[in-house]
């Protein structure tokens, strides 16, 4: 019931101070925020920022709507 001004103020304060919870599937997984993608000689190259857990080249990489792929290498570039 938001008819009284104090209830409306409390509701607005609760909504504005609230913080969304973390996404649970990201906690133990690494994911890449892709910045550049290229396809050269049958090799898909993705350049971006790794978030979450450390990225391992020994694991499969899931590309949404395309499936799972084996990584051939993972490199670091510092800017």
Query: Strand 30-40 vs strand 67-70: parallel, antiparallel, or unpaired?
Result: unpaired
SS3 at position 73: coil
Cα distance between residue 68 and residue 78, in whole Å: 27
The predicted structure's pLDDT at residue 73: 77
pTM value is 0.53
**Partners of 73 in beta bridges:** none
Cα distance between residue 49 and residue 36, in whole Å: 10
Q: What is the pLDDT of residues 36-73, one digit of tens each?
A: 888 888 888 888 888 888 888 888 888 888 888 888 87
Cα distance between residue 51 and residue 10, in whole Å: 36
The predicted structure's pLDDT at residue 34: 85
């Amino acid at each position: 019931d938001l008819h009284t001004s104090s209830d409306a103020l409390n509701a607005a304060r609760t909504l504005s101070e609230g913080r969304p919870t973390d996404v649970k599937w990201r906690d133990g997984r690494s994911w890449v925020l892709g910045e550049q993608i290229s396809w050269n000689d049958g090799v898909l190259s993705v350049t971006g920022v790794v978030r979450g857990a450390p990225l391992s080249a020994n694991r499969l990489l899931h590309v949404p709507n395309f499936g799972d792929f084996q990584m051939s290498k993972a490199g670091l570039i510092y800017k």
